Structure formats: C-alpha cells, structure tokens
Amino acid sequence: MAPEAIRTRLARVVLPVAAALAALVAPAHAMRLVDYNVTNYPGVLFPQRQQYFRIIFAPLGADIVTCQEFQSQAGVDSFLTNVLNVNEPGQWAAAPFINGNDTDNALFYKPAKVQFLGGWAWTPPEPSPLRLVNAYRLRPVGYSSEGAELRIYSQHLKASNTSTDANRRLLEATGIRDSMNAMPPGTHAILLGDFNIYTTTEAAFQKFFEVQTDNDGQLYDPYHLSGVFNQAAFAPYHTQCPCLTCPTGSGYSGGGLDDRFDMFLPTLNLNTTQGLAFLPNSYKPVGNDGQHYNKNITDAPTIPEGSTYANALWNASDHLPIRVDLQLPARIVLSAPSLAFGSVIVGGAAAQDLQITNPATLPADALDYSLSASAGFTAPGGSFSEDAGGSPAVQSIGMDSSTPGTPSGTLTITSDAPDAPTSLVGLSGTVLAHANASLDSLALVTDASIDFGTHDAGQFTNQLARVHDRGYGPLQARLAVNDATITGGDGRFSIVGGFNPVLVAGTAANFEIAFDDNGAIADTQYDGTLTFTNADEPLPGEADAAPLTVQLHAHMGTGTTGVPGQHLPTVLRFDAPRPNPTSGYARFAFDLPHAAPVTLEIFDLAGRRVARLASGEYGPGHYELSWGGAADGARPGAGLYFVRFATPGLQRTARLALMP
C-alpha cells in the first residue's frame, strides 16, 4: 500500500479514537510534566508515527513536554504542528531548539499555563564529544517569584552496558551534577530524560545522590528502588521497550519492557508537601500496568488504556512516556489594599472584614499565614491556613476606639506564598468624642429661660432658643437634636414653622419661639417648658446626650402705664451700639424704669458667645457699657457680630460691625 494511502487510512481510524481518548482526560491538575524519548524523530517511519503520537498525547493533559532524540529543527516544528497543536489547536509553543549531535532535547509548553523564562545547553567536558544537556527555566502563569520557578534539565546519557559506556555516563553525570550545583540556593529542579542506566549501583546513578560541598544539585529517586532494574519485581517502573518484536524499519531496540531508562530525579526541596512539590503518587510510566515484563505492551492482558492506546505506544517509540504532576505554591489575594474604618464615637465597635483567598490551581499548597497589626489596631492572633481553590477566609480587623484621635497604621500578613511573603494593608480611621449638648457656646448650660416680658396684646416679639454642640471640633461628634416638645403655658408657646431634626456642629441651631397672645387674660403670667431631646450623630458608639430645658415666661399686660418716679427712666429701652461700625470701642446704653435682671452678650456669626458685658440684677436707672473687642484677653477678628440684650419685658438683638 502506498504511503499516502496508509496515512489516509490511519487518519480515518486513529483520529476518532484520539478524540474519544481526549474526552477521558485525567482529573484537573495544576501543572503536568510529560517526558518522552521519541526515538530519532522524524527520521524513523515519518510521518506515520505522528498519528500514534496524537493518540498517546490526547488523554495525557500535559502542560510541559520534554523529549529526547530530536534530529533537527524541522522535526521539532513537525512535532509541534502535526502532533501537539492538532490535538489542542493553538495551545502549544516550543522552546528554542539547539541542534547538537542528532539526539537532542526539545521542550514544548502551553503559554497559557507556563511561562518560558529561557534556557541554555552545554556538553559535559570530556576529550571526546558527549551528548548535549539542555536546561530550561519555567514558571507557572500567575506567579512572579523565583520560589515558583522550576528548572528542567533534559539529557540522554550514553547507551550500552560496557564498562567504557558506564565510564562515559559517569563523566556526563559529573558534568550535570556540577552544573546543577551552580544553581542559586533553593532552586527547584528536575533532571529527566533517557539515563540508559541499568542498576542503582552504577557510579553515574550514585553521582546524582552524593552529598557534596556545594549540594544544591543533590537529587533523589521518588521510587526509592535499589538493585538491577531488569527484573520482574521492578516491572511497573520499566519504560524500555514496549515492543518485543518491533515495527519493521523502526530500528527500535526490542526485547519487551525490561529496563527503567526514563526517569524523573527531582532536587531535595521538591520532596515536600509545602510550596512547589513533586507529587510521587502521580509519577508513572504511561501505559505500564506491570503485567508486561519482557513482553509487547500489546500482549494480553490489555492495558487499562485499551488496545488502541497500547498499539499506539507499540508503534510510536521504543520508550514509554513518563508523567508527573507538580503541586503549585500557595498564592494570596486580598480583598482590599487598605481598610478605612470611617468615623466611630469613643467606645463604639470599630471592625472591618478582610478577605484572604488562595486562588492557586489545584493541586496546590495551602496558604499558611499570620496577622500582625500596628498600635491602635487589632488582628486575630495565631496561625491560619487557607486551602487552594476554597472560599475566602474572612478576618475581622479592629480599631481601638478608647480615645479620640485619627489612628493610622498597617496590617502585616506574613505567609508562605512565594510571590508575597509579606503583604501590607493600610489601616485608618477616626475616633470622635461624644457630642456636648448645651444652651451656651462657652459653658455647659442645660437649663435656661426665655422671658418674653410684659406686653399688651400684639406687642410680643419672637425669641430665639439656641442649641450648641459645645466645644465642637474635628474630633467631636455632631449633636443630633432629635425632638423638641413644649409643655404648659396654656399651649400659647410654639416653635415657628414646627420642629425638624437637625445636626449641630460648629454653628448653633436656632429655634424661633413665639407666644400667642390672642385671647390671653390681662395681667396673667404664662409659663411653659421647652425640652430638647439630643444624642450623638448616628455613628457606632452613639449615645444619648443631655436633654436641654428652656423655661418660657410671658406676662400679659393690663393696658395701663404707671407713673414714673422722679429722675428715673420711665420707659424700658435699649439703644443700638454706637459707633457702628467701629475699629475701637462700641457703647451700649439701656434704661431700666424698675430693678430687673439684665443680660448683655456678644455672639459671632457661628452663634458662639465671645463676650458677656452684663449679667445680674440692676437697679432702676440709665446705664452705658463699652466693649473694645476683647474676648478673654484677645481681640477677635474683624467681622460681623450680634449683640443680644435681655431683661424682663424687653429682648433686643443688634448687629455690630468690627473693623480691622
């Protein structure tokens, strides 16, 4: 049959089988490595073997493939295009190929899963040419540190079992070990390929396990075998050769499965359950069921992968591929780079949740971490572990709210994620003092009075009740005036426009109070009580503030005027300040026809009292007071001020402009 006809027939039979096998891909894995000596590719039986390689690779789920015995760049390109990218279109790339002596190494990888960081090749020193050794630097996608880097050393030691060949393998092994010792300390590496070693006692094999002064390249055997490989007891580990009687013209060694030539030998730091790790239970020669010692792999019993798969292994190469899965290191992802606690009031609960996730692809190391918060903040103590692929862990971070202030600091997360052994989260917040309800801006006054005076009907004027958050500043809560009720006074007192809740900060809340004299009884005293209900603004730690009480008084006149005494004022009067505006002193005059309590105060635009000029009982007479802008020994700034005069029967408010 013509070669083209053979290819067409193989395509009709093999490709559907390969598609079926591809549906039986092994369970999810983080990073799978497959090594395969492809036996003089493409020189032997090319291109028929491509069909068999497709069947072999279809179910393997490899992410990295290393091969030995590539003869040329054309062979590498062919394997990439006609095998790997046929099964998984567009998913594979090849590392640069270095052509040495026609039995060279090649590496293929999936860029979506693996970053290729570079590589190099060398020949171990020896008078006669030795086979080329390739080193490749790789790192899983999603990682950035050297702690997640894997180095692969691919080699093909001298074949045959004479003492000369064994000595040559020792020279090659020595050169490889010396090169691996030169790796940076802590580097994770795997030596793989076709070792052509027949027994664990061979000097070349032992060279890889020696304890040396520079020991970074010391390796171990995950199978822990001892003795000659060619024996029935080691049948499950054999990789050479799947054919007893081999395809005509293949040049395969034959003899059936009887030697362990193809191996993974990792560095000691991969023999762990932490970080990047070699998973020994996933390490196996593909298709070897341990039942075909010195037999064709196609002989009875049929391997678990099936007769079609066994036939592909029999035809593709005189080696079996080997595969292993690698555990990836932990990763850490935080829900936020900083936590802002906002504003709370002294004693209030102040906590923020931080989510910590380990998004590493399974199988992967658990994320082990601990938390430490700077002064003013708290974090859970002890050690924590977060499995890869699980739901985020939620850690509650607290802020100390015992004293007012603006604490800021850092949460330090120390973990075994190689990309982020230390993660920092900014912490900030504000702790406020409680609000301070008062009827006065300078002193704590919780009870006061407003006297509308004695007037005839239609002569009463509205008065102001002021509520302050005394001492308000950036570290004090605002005062919430939540309610205002008036009792007594025959229902004649009211808040003009009704009451609406208000938040008080640096400026007083003004409530205009009215007295309704319609129908009031002549010469009658009316007394009521105005009560403000207050609290901190609605923040964590809020509490009720002191209630404020204002006694309200109004006296209905008789409609007659008394006879004034000699030389005494006959009219209750307050004169506007003069001069106004002024850059010096202002004078304030008032007349009292009868002895009475008098209050004369000056307020700024925010409602804060800046001066008290009169406060107490005054006899009948004419009075003049002056103010030069001094408040507690310091002259206030230029601006507009309000002068408030109060005595029974008269309430007056005047403006005063203070010039520079």
What integer pLDDT is reported at residue 560 of this predicted model? 38
Beta strands in 230-309 (DSSP E): 262-266, 277-285
CA–centroid distance for 473 within its chain: 34
Using CB atoms within 10 Å of the CB of residue 49, give its burial: 0 to 12 exposed, 13 to 18 middle, 19+ buried.
buried
CA 68, 74, 80, 82 dihedral sign is negative
- Tell me the CATH architecture of domain 3-327: 4-Layer Sandwich (3.60)
Handedness of CA 160, 162, 165, 167 (dihedral sign): positive
The CATH class that applies to domain 567-660 reads: mainly beta
Both structure tokens of 401? 């709210």
Q: Is it true that 333-432 and 434-560 share their CATH fold?
A: yes
d(CA 250, CA 239): 17
Rounded to whole angstroms, how far apart are CA atoms 124 and 121? 10
Structural domain boundaries of the chain?
3-327, 333-432, 434-560, 567-660
Tokens representing residue 602 in the block: 């000056």
Q: Which two tokens stand for residue 572?
A: 């209750």
Tell me which residue has tokens 């007192």. 493
pLDDT of the residue at 8: 35
Report the chain (660 residues): mean pLDDT per 10 consecutive residues. Answer: 35 38 49 97 91 98 97 95 97 94 89 97 73 95 95 94 92 94 96 97 97 96 97 97 93 95 98 96 97 97 98 97 97 97 97 97 96 97 95 97 97 97 98 95 88 85 90 96 97 96 93 93 93 98 96 80 52 89 84 90 88 85 74 65 92 88
The pLDDT of residue 9: 36
Please state the pTM of the whole predicted model. Answer: 0.77
Please name the residue that has the structure tokens 């209030």.
348
Give, for 307, the enclosing helix (H) or strand (E). helix 307-316
β-pairing verdict for 509-515 and 277-285: unpaired
Which of 411, 409, 437, 433 is closest to 422 using CA atoms? Answer: 411
* CA triple 561-566-572, angle to 5 deg: 45
Provide the pLDDT for residue 620. 87
For 333-432, the fitting CATH number among 1.20.120.80, 1.10.3210.50, 2.60.40.10, 3.30.70.2200 is 2.60.40.10
pLDDT at position 15 is 38
Our CA angle for 632, 636, 642, nearest 5°, is: 100
Name the CATH superfamily, with its identifier, for domain 434-560. Immunoglobulins (2.60.40.10)
